[in-house]
Structure formats: structure tokens, C-alpha cells
Amino acid sequence: MATPDSAPRNDWHTLRTLFPYLWRYKNRVVIALSLLIAAKFANVAVPLVLKDIVDSLDGSKGIIVMPVALVFAYGALRMCSSVFGELRDAVFAKVTQGSIRRVALQVFEHLSALSLRFHLERQTGGMSRDIDRGTKGIAFLLNFMLFNILPTLVEIALVAIILLKKYDWYFAAITFGTIVIYIGFTLGVTEWRMAFRRQMNELDSKANTRAIDALLNYETVKYFNAERWEAERYDRSLSKWESASVKNQVSLSLLNAGQAVIIASGVTALVWLASRDVVTGRMTLGDLVLVNAFLLQLYAPLNFLGFVYREIKHSLADMEKMFKLLRQNAEVKDTPDARTLQASSAAIRFESVDFGYERNRQILRDVSFEIPAGKTLAVVGASGAGKSTLSRLLYRFYDVWQGRVTINGIDLRDMTQESLRAHIGIVPQDTVLFNDTIYYNIAYGKTGASREEVIEAARAAHIYDFIEKLPEGFDTMVGERGLKLSGGEKQRVAIARTILKNPPILIFDEATSALDSKTEKGIQAELKAISADRTTLIIAHRLSTIADADEIAVMEDGRIVERGRHLELLAQNGHYARLWALQQHEEPADHVA
């Protein structure tokens, strides 16, 4: 939590971060500020004309004549003040909405560019709430800082000049004194209140994270009858948020009451002085009306200024969290001279690779192997041996600690991530789909694919017949993370998606683990057909599915302990032979899709 001392420094940094987005619309900003100043001049002129109208209607000075010109001038100034304000809002709308759009897009693109490590550690619910509050904060900050604080300061300056020129110095002194006390009180109490607001935001994000997490894991909650536990857990977070919110509201009431006392005292003092001078003949009734109108005109936005300042501080706190996401370091980056990979065939090499997700927990140790262009390498081993880590490194979700990974002799770190991933297709063990139609999820493999191509990919993945039997066919919604489909159906969608992408490199990470035996045999035939003449990495548990691979590597504790073809490895009577024997003696069982 930022302390009062550090908060201003963070606020200025936040404003500097926002400035480039505004600068794109500098012409509109200048026009809007010009309209704003014109509106304020018209607004300040209104009480001056009103004074002349009252004085001309003062019966004590003789014959009363209807001040037609003054009345029309009064109406014109009132109209100009409002019209200029509306024109200002219309001109500035593009600045506000355009800036929000560009900031939101940049945050999204930056989050997409961050490493897998960040996304594995993120809290989706809290992060989405931070982004939502941050973008709303931009709109509030731009509108109210420029259109409330700035015009109020302009108006204060103009009123002070008029009071000093037309009346005794103590009118301006009391006005300024009241403003200084008001601003000092507002700043002090608001800084104190910010701790409650930041705490409230933090607890709000945590509560939202827990709610989203429980809803995303709906089935797990049901499996363990944990509805009450999750509700109580959520309520504990809400209870802390409620406590912080109450403190926030009580402190707000204290601030509002203090502001009201300060303003009422200043207004009373000035009206008393003006009334005294009218009685003594030093001021006219019009002067009394002028002073009173100025006070009401000045203190109304000044009173609102307290609210605006509080909300601007809140907006800056909200924006600070959103912009902090932009400062997240992208662990995996393209080098300035990164090459674009363009290859119709690809040879893969892992050369003495060491890697771990955390520095104190190494996963891969001196891993070396080669997959010649158009050949298939299958990797087998116990869970935790490091098999799936190979695919993550090949996709360059992480960079290796030692050694290197190459395609056609080029280090992955020397090529653009976009071109690298365009050459790889994967069928993962845990398929996650978008909450959209089956057609959309298959077509995701190739942007701009024709409907015929999508249907052909569905046929190749043996899912076309299933789709056609659905009431809405390809337009069937798959639900959040694809939960409306079975594991086998999701995997077949993933296979169809990869077939549609048609890349030179394929990765099958337990690609048929969720399929029943009958479907698996059909899919295996299709996978073998699409992997022909493509460089293929297969990560497998069931050895029967990879017996015809060009080479098989056996991993144990992050090392490759055996390599060779199926029959060669059986003849060695080592790790692979023991795994084969163990699986052959297991009771056969179909995997229901």
C-alpha cells in the first residue's frame, strides 16, 4: 500500500504514462480548453450583468427603466456558458474514448505478450477488475481534471481579480482564506482516506478472484460438496471488504461535514460584510447581489471540487494498478534483429538443454536429441519426467537456462515468436476451448479459412458425424472452457483445429488420452496420415500408440536415459522394456470419450 509520501510520486508517474495517449489528440484538447475558458469568462460575466440589472431597477435612485439590453446580455451570457460547455464535451469525447480504447488495447496486447509464467501465476478475477476500474478511471480523470479543477481555478482567479478591483481587500482575503483552508482540509483528509480506498479495492479484487475461481471450477466444487465452503470463503472476503467500505464511508461523511462548515463560515462572513456596507451606503444592492452570486457560483464548484479531488485520487489509484500491468516485464522477448522463420520442412535439435520453472527446481538436465525433417520422435516416461516441458520450450513459452533449441540450425531466440509459432501445431492433453461455437473453435486454427476447409478438418478428425447430429450443428456453443463437450469431443476439436492449421511441425501431447479405444484407433490413423512428411514430437503415456515412431526417447528425472526404435528398446531390456511389460499386463479398458 502506498504511503502518503510515496503516493504523489506514483500519481505523477501515472499521469506521465497517460500523457502520450492524450497527445495523439492535441488539436481536440486545445479546442476543448479554448471552449472551456470561453465558458468560464461568460460565467463570470453573468453576476456583473446581474448587478447592473439590479442597480437599474433600484427604485431609490429615481425612475425605473426596463434594462432590455442588460436582460438580453444576461440571457446571452447564460446561454454561451452552457453551449460552450456542451461543445467542449462533444469535442473532447473522442479524446476520452479514444484514449481508453488505446490503453485497453495496449494492456491486452502486453498481457498477451507476457510469458506463460505470468499467466500461470495471475489471478484472473482480480486482474480483470483492476483493468475495468483502470479504464473507467481514465474517463473520470480526463473529464473532471480538465473540466472541473482547471475551470474552477480559472474562475477563482477571475473572481479574485474582480473583488480586488471593485471592493475592499478583505472581500478577496476572506475568499482566498476560505479557499486555502478548504483545500488544505480536503487534501489532508483525502490523503488519510486513500488508505481505506486502496484497502477496499484490494479486498474487492480478492473477493472477485475467489468468486471467479469457484465458478470456473464448478465441477470440482460439486465433486466435493464444497458449495457451503466456497460461499463462506467468499463471504469472509466480502466481510473484510464491508469493514473497509464502512470506514471509507464514515471518513467521507467526516470530510463532507468539514467542508460544509468551512464554506458556510466563509459565505456568512462575506454576506455579513456586504450587508454592512449596503447599510452604510458604501455598496449598492447590486453589489450585494454580485458578491452573493460570485460566492454561490464559486463555492458550488469548489464544493464539488472536494468530490472531484477524492475521485481523481481514487482514479489514479485504480489506473496505477492497471498501468502496473504494462510494467510487467516480458520474460521472453524478440531480439531487435530477430529473423522471420520461413520453412516448408523443419529439423529440430535440443542441444545440452538445462531448464527449470524455478531456479531452485531444475526439470531438464543436459537434454540432447534431434528430430530430422519429416521424422517422428516419441518421448515417453513417468509423470514429472519433463516430457511436456519439451513442447513448452519448443513453442518458446520459456527460454532455456543452458544449451539451445534450434530449427533448421537457427536458435529459437534468434527468430520472431510469431513466425516460430506459425510453424507449429499442437494437440494438447488438456484442451481448452473458447466459449463460442464448434465452428469458431475449429476455424481458430486458420484465420480466414473457408467453411469447406473447416468441414474437411472436422471429417479428418472424426468429429463431423458427431457435429451433424447436434441440433445446431457447427453453431453449437461449447460453453465456458468447452465444458459442454466431453473430454474426447474437446480433443477431437483440437485435432481438427491443428489439421486446419497445417503446420510443418506437429506436437501431440497425450493427444488421444481422453478417447475410447475404438475412436483412438481411427484418430491414430489420421494423426499418422497428417504427420507424414512433417516433423513430429509425440509425448505419450500409452506405448502402444507410438510403437511405429522413427525414434523413441525415454525420459527419467529430466534426462534422456534411452533412445532407439521400439524393437531396439525392447531388446535392451531397460526402462522402456519394463514400461512396455507393465502396460501389457494391465487390464485392458476402453477410455470412454
What is the spatial distance between Cα 293 and Cα 299, in angstroms, rounded to a whole number?
A: 10
Which of the two residues, 292 and 248, has the higher pLDDT score? 248
Residue 458, φ and ψ in degrees, nearest 5: -65, -40
Instruction: Give mean pLDDT, residues 94-99.
Output: 82
Q: pTM of the entire structure?
A: 0.62
Q: Which three cell numbers stand for residue 581?
A: 511389460
What is the spatial distance between Cα 259 and Cα 185, in angstroms, rounded to a whole number?
A: 8
What is the spatial distance between Cα 402 and Cα 353, in angstroms, rounded to a whole number?
A: 5
CA nearest to 204, candidates 248, 242, 247 = 242
What is the pLDDT, as a whole number, of residue 451? 92
Residues 6 or more apart from 230 whose CB is under 8 A from it?
210, 214, 221
List the Cα angle 381/382/385 in 5-degree steps: 80
What is the pLDDT, as a whole number, of residue 543? 84
Sheet with 410-411, side-by-side order of all strands? 364-371, 348-355, 402-407, 410-411
Instruction: Give mean pLDDT, residues 499-512.
Output: 85
Q: pLDDT grade, residue 59 (50/70/90)?
A: low
Instruction: Give mean pLDDT, residues 383-395.
Output: 87
Lowest mean pLDDT among 150-154, 208-212, 230-234, 556-560: 150-154
Tell the residue number behind the cell numbers 513417468, with chain if given.
382
Residues 6 or more apart from 63 whose CB is under 8 A from it?
none
Q: What is the DSSP string of 6-57?
A: THHHHHHHHHHHHHHHHHTTHHHHHHHHHHHHHHHHHHHHHHHHHHHHHHHT
Which domains are delineated in the chain?
7-326 (1.20.1560.10), 348-585 (3.40.50.300)
What is the spatial distance between Cα 137 and Cα 201, in angstroms, rounded to a whole number?
A: 13
What is the pLDDT, as a whole number, of residue 401? 92
In this predicted structure, the answer to whether residue 569 has a pLDDT above a threshold of 80 is yes
Q: pLDDT grade, residue 355 (50/70/90)?
A: very high
Helix or strand holding residue 561 (H, E): strand 559-564
The percent of residues above 90 in pLDDT, for the chain, comes to 15
Burial tier of 491 (Cβ tally within 10 Å: 0-12, 13-18, 19+): buried
Q: pLDDT grade, residue 405 (50/70/90)?
A: very high
Beta bridge partners of 364: 355
The three state secondary structure string of 368-420 is: EEEECCCCEEEEEECCCCCHHHHHHHHCCCCCCCEEEEEECCEEHHHECHHHH
In this predicted structure, the answer to whether residue 269 has a pLDDT above a threshold of 80 is yes
In this predicted structure, the answer to whether residue 411 has a pLDDT above a threshold of 90 is yes
Sequence length of the chain is: 593
CA 191, 195, 197, 201 torsion-angle sign? positive
What is the spatial distance between Cα 222 and Cα 218, in angstroms, rounded to a whole number?
A: 6
CA nearest to 212, candidates 124, 317, 302, 290 = 124
- Maximum CA extent, the chain: 126
Residues 6 or more apart from 62 whose CB is under 8 A from it?
none
Q: pLDDT grade, residue 115 (50/70/90)?
A: low
Q: pLDDT grade, residue 112 (50/70/90)?
A: confident
What is the pLDDT, as a whole number, of residue 537? 93
What is the pLDDT, as a whole number, of residue 511? 66
Q: pLDDT grade, residue 427 (50/70/90)?
A: confident
